[in-house]
Each structure stands twice: as C-alpha cells, then as structure tokens.
Chains A and B, each alone.
Chain A
Amino acid sequence: MEVKVLDNTMDTQKGTGRALKDRTSVSHRMQQFKKHYFLYMLLAPALILTLIFKYIPMYGAVIAFKDFSPIKGIMGSEWVGLKHFEKFLASPNFDVIFMNTLKLSFFGLIFSFPVPIILALMLNQVRKAGVKKNIQLFLYAPNFISVVVVVGMLFIFLSPTGPINQIATWITGQPIMFMSEPEYFRWIYILSDIWTGAGWASIIYVAALANVDPELHNAANLDGANLIQRIRHIDLPTIRPIMAIVFILAAGGIMSIGFEKAYLMQTSMNLPSSEIIATYVYKVGLQSGDYAYSAAVGLFNSVINVILLVTVNLIVKKLNEGEGLY
C-alpha cells in the first residue's frame, strides 16, 4: 500500500509539484491534528474530572472566609475574613484537638517507622527462600483487612468480656476498659496500625536488601566481621536512602492523619484523646451543618500540612547532603 502511494507521487511529481506540496502539507497538518486530537481525547476525561472534583472544591474552600449560607451560594455569601479561624483558635476544644492530632501522628510515626525496617533486616537473614516467602505471605496479609474489620476485631478482642480481658480478669481480678479509657486510645491505635501495616511496609526494604551483592558479605566475613557488624555496615547503608524518603513522606503527612480509623474507634468515653481535627471537621461540618466553620478548620489543617512537608524536606536535605524529596 505504501509503495503504491510512492509510485503515484513519482508519476505526478513533475507536472503538479507545487500543488502536491501544498496538498501534502495540508494533509500532513490534518494528520498531525488527528494525532493530537486523539491524544487530547485520551487526556480529556482525567483533566475534566480533576478540574471538577479537585479544583472546584479548592475554589469552594473560600467559604472558610465567608458566612456561608446554602441559599446564597458560595458567591453570594458575605465575607467575614478570619472570623472562623479566630473562633477555632479561641475555642476551648482547640488545644485538646490539636494536641490529640499531633500526639497521635507523632507517636505513630516514632513507633511505626522502625518496625518495617527491623522486620526487613530480620527477614533478610532467613536463608531458605521458601520459608521466607511463607513468612512474608502471613506478614503482608493484614494489609488487606479493611479498617472496619480491624476496628471491629479490636472491639471484640478488647471488650470487657473478650479474650484479652479473660486473661486480665484471671490475673488482676477485674477487666480493663480498653475502649473507653482515653489513656489507652493512642496505644491501641498505634499498635493496631503496626499490626496492619508493618509487614506490608517492609516490602520495599526487603527488596533493596535482596539486591545487596552477597560477595560483600562474604568479603566482610573473611575480614572477621560478625553478623551485627555486617548488618550495621552493609545492610543499613543500603536501605538508608529509602528510609529517608519514607520518613519525609510520613513526617510531612503528620497532620493529615486519617479520619477513618479514629472515627470508628471513638466511643463517647475515649473522646478526650480520640477527637482529632479530621473527625472534628466531619462532626461540625457534616453532622451539625456548620459548613463554613468546619471548612476553615480543614483549611487550617491543610496549611499546616504543607508547611510541615516543606520544612521536613528542608531539614532532611540539610542532613542528607542536598538529597531531599524534591
């Protein structure tokens, strides 16, 4: 087919050279347009959905600075400046909620961060590939259990008559009120997070460690390095860059701690430590209908988040000789 076209071109080249040139350039442009047209068609759905569902809400966030009334709409409502922000900062809830959010994610980060690394270093010492695979199969599994089921299991296991309290009652004579004592909330939250996610989070470290040249270990072994020394001087440096990235991402997201689990774990008794910004926004906004105020609280949270991400990245860049996330 291509050859035919070429033959035709050759035949007519002499007489109608100029006309042909025009025609090819027009058809060339048409072709280009068609190509681009197709590419834009492919891009369009994602672009349109993003503009609608991500950018319109960004504009909608201006209600944080307005006295929003659904009847007047976003445009028609009156500006009130920072009124809602001042109200939040001055409210007696602020200290509690802010500190709850910060503590939950800070302690979560401190305790959750090392576990996958330790797991990976330990898995790396398992020599039999089959055994290692099976251990991984089990350790990764909880990652696929839904948050509703995880919290449901917490309620089952930690209930006053549950299996853990059967042991506790046997030892101390009385059950421990795990889900209603505020002081336990954070621990339960963080430990169950580790239970769910640590195995899965170790994958990336396991893969990096598997790429270490075994010759390196052999050579170190010949030089008399013991296991601990080899882990310290060969394995740890291998995964350090990954640790840095994982840490920045986690630290940057410290104020964006998820709503889903905390909300499910809340009972009326543990609220003093379980009420965090995300659950507060939901309750004030969607349950009580105070849209503008709760949008302001949400916006306040996102701003802190962005500041945190940038700061943490700067610090890591300094410590890590110019190697940050961006």
Chain B
Amino acid sequence: MVVKHTGLDRLILALNAIFLTCAVLVVVVPLVYIVVASFMDPTVLLNRGLSFNVSDWSLDGYQMILSNPAMIRGFANAVLYSVSFALLTVTVSIFAGYALSDERLAGRGFFMIIFIITMFFGGGLIPTYLLVRNLGMLDTVWAIILPGAVNVWNIILSRTFFKGVPRELKEAANVDGASEMKIFFQIVIPLSKPIIFVLALYAFVGQWNSYFDAMIYLDNSNLHPLQLVLRSILIQNQAAPGMISDQLAMAELKRLSEMIKYSAIVISSLPLIIMYPFFQKYFEKGVMVGSLK
C-alpha cells in the first residue's frame, strides 16, 4: 500500500528536496572550489577568482608541492605513524578484548574498571608530557604511537564481539587438541576480520588527521607528519622551509604560499578521498557497532 500524500505533504516533500540539495551544495561547493583552485594560476585566482578557462590553469602548484622535501617527508612520516599506530592499537585492543571476554580470566571485572576509569579521569596534558619526556621518548615515534595505543572503547567493542563467538566452536577445537593460542590465532582471529578491519580503519584515519601529539612531542622537523607540514603551509603561511632558497620579493613569496595551499590540501587528502567511497559502509558500521551498549 502506498502512503497517500495531501497537498501540504507534497509541499513539505518538495521543500525537503530543496533543503537537502542545499545541504549537499554547502558541503560540496567549498571542496570543488579547492580542487579547481588547485589547478589555477594563483595570480588569476587572486585577481579574478575561479576561472574555467584552460589558459588560466597551471600545474605549478602541484609541481611545487611534489618537489617540496618537507611535504614528501611529512607524507612518508604520516604513513609510518598511521600504519604502525593502527597495527599497535588494534593488536593491543583485540588481545585485551579477547582476554576480558573469557569467563575463566580471574579478576575480569577489576581489570575492566581499571580501563574504564581512564575514560573519565586523566592526569591531563602536562603530567603526560612530563612522563613522555622522562621516558626519553621526545622526538621518537614512540611518543606518537604509545601513549594513545590503548583505546578503551575498542577494548569494549571487541570484548562484546568475542562474547558473541559461539562457545561450541572453541570447545570443539579444544577437544581436537588445539591449544588456547591456536584457538585464538587460527579460529577466533579469522572470524573477527570485519571488526579488526573497522577498528584499524578508524585508527588509521584518526592518526592521519591528527597534529597535536606530533606538535608537542616532536621538535625535530624531519619527524613531522603531514598535518604539521600542512599547518605551516596553510595556517602559518610559510611556504614550507627549504622551499625558498634566496630572498624573494614579498609579492612573490605571497604568490608562492598561496599557490601551494590548494594543491597541498588536495594531495594530503588524496589517500582518504580514494579510500572513502569504498570504505564508507565500514565506517558506518563502526558508528553502529559503537552505539550498541
């Protein structure tokens, strides 16, 4: 049966369509602007705005950004930090989640409380910083990946997931003589691929997009991840160190720094833009799993 619409309903539905179109435009227009601007000659952009005339276009921005050593190093660092962070945090959380899901682990409740407390209380920025410094981890990868490696939310999620793995499966394997370790690595882990994938995806994106930890823990600019390099280009208006070899006129400096902004945004977002349409359903899944209590 089809719902019958009154005249008023039809008006509302039409308005609804218009509003949603506007919402999509509000999201899309700024992004399209950045992409188009990244292909434009900065002088034209500055004086006349966007132009779809091919003669006003140039690839100089991309050329500059791709030949910028800081940017390339930042990209490589970001890949390194994001991949290792995702591997570490997912491994640690899945392990702990599995242990805590097993009724034979004495003191489960107590351990759970230890983890959950950290969701609500924390020592704060300064004591954490002092600890990392005392451990000699400043200016090392460890400062980026270790302090945040335990994600309590992920532990809770994976624990809930493992509780759903049928007992009979584990018991059957046990009867067949498989050790606990074998059961975990050869039966439970393969079953949990989807949840592992979702958690890893979130960890990767979170690390890729963050700059704060790197800003406070990494002084050495050779270790800076992409977001910190972007920050100097986009917000501090530095055309990235090493890019300008000799004194240039202010106007030229401004032109350069404007030129690379757009291409820097596009290049830095590329991995996520490519991943996004394929993985959207996994990301959504993550939200839904997370909302279960």
Which residues of A line the B interface, CB within 8 A?
1-2, 32, 34-36, 38-40, 42-43, 45-47, 49-61, 63, 70, 74, 119, 122-123, 125-126, 135, 137-142, 144-149, 151-153, 155-157, 161, 163, 166, 195, 199-200, 203-204, 207, 217-218, 221, 226-228, 242, 259-260, 264, 278, 281-282, 285-286, 291, 294-295, 298-299, 301-302, 306, 309
B-side interface residues, number (CB < 8 Å): 93
**Which of B98, B102, B126, B208 has the most chain A CB atoms inside 10 A of its CB?**
B126
Q: Judge whether A43 and B100 touch: CB under 8 Å.
A: yes
The 8 Å CB contact of A45, one of B92, B231, B287, B291, is: B92
Interface pairs A-B: 6 shortest CB-CB: A57-B123, A152-B234, A60-B127, A46-B96, A146-B209, A298-B124
A-B contact pairs, 17 of them (CB 8 A): A35-B180, A39-B99, A53-B146, A53-B149, A54-B150, A57-B131, A58-B122, A138-B27, A139-B24, A144-B276, A146-B211, A146-B268, A161-B46, A199-B23, A260-B210, A281-B124, A286-B126
Total A-B Cβ pairs within 8 A: 252
B153 CB within 8 Å of chain A: no
Given A43-B105, A125-B13, A298-B125, decide whether A195 and B27 contact each other with a Cβ distance below 8 A: yes
| A123 proximity list for chain B (CB < 8 A) | 20
* Minimum distance in angstroms from B119 CB to a CB of chain A: 10
| A299 proximity list for chain B (CB < 8 A) | 124
Q: Judge whether A306 and B121 touch: CB under 8 Å.
A: yes
Q: Judge whether B269 and A145 touch: CB under 8 Å.
A: yes
| B12 proximity list for chain A (CB < 8 A) | 227-228
| A144 proximity list for chain B (CB < 8 A) | 205, 209, 272, 276
Q: Judge whether B288 and A226 touch: CB under 8 Å.
A: no
Which residues of B line the A interface, CB within 8 A?
1, 3-6, 8-9, 12-13, 16-17, 19-20, 23-24, 26-28, 30-31, 33-34, 46, 49-50, 91-93, 95-96, 98-100, 102, 104-106, 111, 114-115, 118, 120-131, 146-150, 155, 175-177, 179-181, 184, 205, 208-212, 216, 227, 230-231, 233-235, 261-262, 265, 268-269, 272, 276-277, 280, 283-284, 287-288, 291
| A1 proximity list for chain B (CB < 8 A) | 177
